Amino acid sequence: MQLKDYQNTAIKKLLSRSKELLEQSGEKKVIFKAPTGSGKTIMMAEFLKQLIDDKEIKTPLSFIWTAPRKLHTQSKEKLEKYYEDTRALECSDFEDLTDKQIGENEILFLNWESINKKDKNTIVKENEKEFYLGKIVENTKEEGREIVLIIDESHHHATSEISQDLISDIAPRLTIEVSATPVIANPDEIVSVPLEDVKLEGMIKKSVILNPNFKNVLSGDSLKTTLADGTDAMVLEEGIKKRAEIAKAYKEAGIDINPLLLIQLPDRKTQVEDQVKNDVVRILKDKYGMTTENGRLAIYLSEGKENLENIAKNNHETEVLIFKQAIALGWDCPRAQVLVLFRDWKSLTFSVQTVGRIMRMPEPDIGHYKQEILNHGFVFTNLADIEIKEDVARNYVTIYTSQRIENYKPIKLESVYRLRQREKTRLSPKFINIFLDEAKKYDLEKKIETKGQKLELSLISDYEAEGVDKLVNAEIKGEAKINTENEADLQKLYDFFVKNNLSPFYPEDRSIGRLKEAIYYFFRMRLGMEYTDRFAEIINIVLSPKNSQHFINVIDSTKEKYIAETQKREAELQKSEDWELPEMLNFGGNFTEFKTELSAMKPFYYDNKWKTEEAFIKFLEKSDQIEWWFKNGDRDATFFAVPYVENDEQKPFYVDFIVKFKNGKIGLFDTKSGNTIKDAREKSDGLQEYIKKHKNISGGIVANTNSKDFSGRWMCYKGKGSELNPDEFSNWELFGI
Q: For the segment 409-425, what is each residue's pLDDT rounded down to a tens digit?
A: 999 999 998 876 554 55
374/735: higher pLDDT: 374
Encode pLDDT of 364-374 as tens digits: 878 889 888 99
The reported pLDDT for the residue numbered 423 is: 47
Please give the Cα distance from 194 to 475 (Å, whole number): 39
Interacting residues of 716 by C-beta distance below 8 A, sequence separation 6+:
669, 699, 700, 701, 702, 732, 733, 734, 735
From 89-103, 180-194, 677-691, the region with the lowest mean pLDDT: 180-194
- Sort strands 222-225 and 385-388 into parallel, antiparallel or unpaired: antiparallel
The reported pLDDT for the residue numbered 466 is: 40
In this prediction, residue 510 has a pLDDT band, given cuts at 50, 70 and 90, of low
Helix, strand, coil percent content, the chain, rounded in steps of 5: 35, 25, 40
From 291-300, 464-473, 514-523, the region with the lowest mean pLDDT: 464-473
pLDDT(547) > 70: yes
Interacting residues of 515 by C-beta distance below 8 A, sequence separation 6+:
427, 431, 435, 498, 501, 502, 555
Encode pLDDT of 338-365 as tens digits: 999 998 777 777 777 778 889 999 998 7
Percent of the chain with pLDDT over 90: 46
Q: Each residue of 116-154: b (16+ CB within 10 Å) or e? A: beeeeeebbeeeeeebbbeebbebbbeeebbbbbbbbbb
The reported pLDDT for the residue numbered 459 is: 36
Please give the Cα distance from 570 to 562 (Å, whole number): 12
HSE of 537, CA atoms in CB hemisphere, 13 A: 14
pLDDT(281) > 90: yes
Nearest to 647 by CA among 682, 676, 687: 682
Please give the Cα distance from 629 to 620 (Å, whole number): 8
672/533: higher pLDDT: 672
DSSP 127-158: -TT--SHHHHHHHHHHTT-EEEEEEETGGGTT
217/478: higher pLDDT: 217
Please give the Cα distance from 552 to 559 (Å, whole number): 10
In this prediction, residue 481 has a pLDDT band, given cuts at 50, 70 and 90, of very low
Interacting residues of 24 by C-beta distance below 8 A, sequence separation 6+:
none
The reported pLDDT for the residue numbered 468 is: 43
From 115-119, 203-207, 248-252, 710-714, the region with the lowest mean pLDDT: 115-119
From 173-187, 316-330, 541-555, 650-664, the region with the lowest mean pLDDT: 316-330
HSE of 247, CA atoms in CB hemisphere, 13 A: 18
Mean pLDDT for the stretch of residues 641-661? 92
The reported pLDDT for the residue numbered 424 is: 52
Encode pLDDT of 699-717 as tens digits: 999 999 888 888 899 999 9
In this prediction, residue 314 has a pLDDT band, given cuts at 50, 70 and 90, of very high
Q: What does the DSSP 8-state code read for residue 101?
A: S
The reported pLDDT for the residue numbered 365 is: 79
Mean pLDDT for the stretch of residues 68-90? 86
Please give the Cα distance from 732 to 719 (Å, whole number): 8
The reported pLDDT for the residue numbered 390 is: 67
Please give the Cα distance from 179 to 184 (Å, whole number): 10
pLDDT(532) > 60: yes
Whole-number average pLDDT of the chain: 85
Nearest to 120 by CA among 109, 108, 129, 132: 132
Mean pLDDT for the stretch of residues 54-64? 92
pLDDT(626) > 90: yes
The reported pLDDT for the residue numbered 727 is: 74
Contact 426, 508 (CB under 8 A): yes
464/325: higher pLDDT: 325
DSSP 283-333: HHHHHH---TTTTSEEEEETTEEES-TTTTSTT-S--EEEEETTTTTT---
Q: What does the DSSP 8-state code read for residue 516?
A: H
From 2-11, 151-160, 553-562, the region with the lowest mean pLDDT: 151-160
34/491: higher pLDDT: 34
Fold type of domain 5-198: Rossmann fold (3.40.50)
Please give the Cα distance from 544 to 122 (Å, whole number): 56
pLDDT(158) > 60: no
Mean pLDDT for the stretch of residues 295-308? 90
Contact 672, 610 (CB under 8 A): no
Mean pLDDT for the stretch of residues 617-640? 93
The reported pLDDT for the residue numbered 421 is: 54
Percent of the chain with pLDDT over 70: 88
Mean pLDDT for the stretch of residues 501-516? 73
Asked, colleague to colleague, whether 5-198 and 202-398 share their fold, the answer is yes
The reported pLDDT for the residue numbered 458 is: 46
Please give the Cα distance from 732 to 716 (Å, whole number): 6
Mean pLDDT for the stretch of residues 248-265? 95
Encode pLDDT of 553-608 as tens digits: 999 999 888 888 776 666 568 888 899 999 989 888 888 899 999 999 999 999 88
563/691: higher pLDDT: 691
Q: Which CATH architecture best describes the domain 576-734? A: 3-Layer(aba) Sandwich (3.40)
pTM of the model as a whole: 0.72
Domain ranges of the chain: 5-198, 202-398, 430-571, 576-734
Nearest to 652 by CA among 660, 661, 643: 643
Q: ∠ CA(214), CA(658), CA(205), 5° rounding?
A: 45
Amino acid at 494: Y
The reported pLDDT for the residue numbered 461 is: 34
In this prediction, residue 303 has a pLDDT band, given cuts at 50, 70 and 90, of confident
Fold type of domain 202-398: Rossmann fold (3.40.50)
Mean pLDDT for the stretch of residues 133-138? 91
Mean pLDDT for the stretch of residues 12-38? 93
pLDDT(250) > 70: yes
The reported pLDDT for the residue numbered 470 is: 46
